[in-house]
Amino acid sequence: MVNETVKEIFELKKQKNAVILAHNYQREEIQNIADFVGDSLELSRKAVELECDIIVFCGVHFMAETASILNPEKTVLLPEIDAGCPMADMIDARKLTKWASQFPDTPVIAYVNTTAEVKALSYACCTSANAPEIVKAVPFEKILFVPDKNLADWVKRKVPEKEIIPWDGFCPTHHMIKKDDVIRSKELYPNALVVVHPECRPEVIDLADHVASTSGMVRFAKSSSAKEFLIGTETGLIYRLKKENPDKNFYPLKKTMICPNMKVTTLESVLTALRDMKHIIKVPEDIRLKAKEAIERMFTLYKPKN
């Protein structure tokens, strides 16, 4: 049955000239059928490079929206329309406009985990893979940072010379890890390196050996001589970490670190998406153009080495 579904997906993909992109948190079976698996920065860059008619985005809404903003001529499909990001939903254009009016002439840096409307009001975007570099590179001493207060705190540590005013948002999945979880896990695995995502609380960052985006964690695990790692991010990443490092051991800092939105996409929903061409993600043109400017400024301000 699963094999039948996979076969049908591959047939439709070929017939319709489609490409499947999957975020690192997706279910194992989705990662296995994807043409490319990566973090938000890699997926947004990939979306621009692709030569195809359709992108099936296995991730959450803002990711598919970013792909659509950058590729208006391609059809971007989000298999599960309710796959949202609760952190992105913690700010909208109305709230941002009201808040920003208290800080005249202070530009907004928006984490990509935001809606197109919020990006359209921002000077530049950033992801967890480049946030400190972007904040360092913008020609302003004082910025507003939305929506993640934990990521903002981490950036402040890396770029102390700038004044960063954060919005009070957070990711429920990463915010759930507390200092005690790290202490208990380290007692269980004393030789393991603690690797966490910058969406974690500052008290968790304090105890980490390394802080990185999801794909940054994969690169770190590959290059490290350590054999054991405690991973502080959505548990979906552990599948990729194990697959690409079969000689190393990875343990979640907390087993319940699951983003329900990242798990709703199934093989069945990918098949339905391709067969019935749904759900098409499109952004109104005036908002798209402004949001595109903020995303493209991110690409201009910081060019990663790999």
Instruction: Give residues in contact with ligand 13P (CB under 6 A).
Output: 24, 39-40, 113, 127-129, 171, 199, 213-214
How far apart are CB 166 and ligand 13P at their closest, in Å? 17
Binding partner at 24 among ligand 13P, ligand SF4, none, C-beta below 5 to 8 Å by kind: ligand 13P
How far apart are CB 23 and ligand 13P at their closest, in Å? 6
| CB closer to ligand 13P out of 77 and 85 | 85
| CB closer to ligand 13P out of 13 and 197 | 197
| CB closer to ligand 13P out of 18 and 212 | 212
How far apart are CB 128 and ligand 13P at their closest, in Å? 4
CA–CA dist 189, 185 (Å, integer): 6
| CA distances, 227 to each of 107, 138, 195, 211, 250 (Å) | 43, 38, 13, 17, 9
CB atoms within 10 A of CB 93: 16
How far apart are CB 114 and ligand SF4 at their closest, in Å? 10
Residue 124: both structure tokens together = 């530049």
50, 36 in Cβ contact below 8 A? Answer: no
How far apart are CB 206 and ligand SF4 at their closest, in Å? 20
| CB closer to ligand 13P out of 148 and 274 | 148
| CA distances, 58 to each of 73, 158, 159, 282 (Å) | 19, 31, 33, 16
Binding partner at 128 among ligand SF4, ligand 13P, none, C-beta below 5 to 8 Å by kind: ligand 13P
DSSP string, 283-298: --HHHHHHHHHHHHHH
CB atoms within 10 A of CB 62: 24
Q: Which residue ranges make up the site for ligand SF4 (CB under 6 A)? A: 60, 85-87, 113, 171-173, 199, 234, 259, 261-262
Binding partner at 269 among ligand 13P, ligand SF4, none, C-beta below 5 to 8 Å by kind: none
How far apart are CB 190 and ligand 13P at their closest, in Å? 27
C-alpha closest to that of 69 among 274, 277, 299, 295:
295
C-alpha closest to that of 268 among 29, 98, 90, 41:
29
| CB closer to ligand 13P out of 23 and 292 | 23
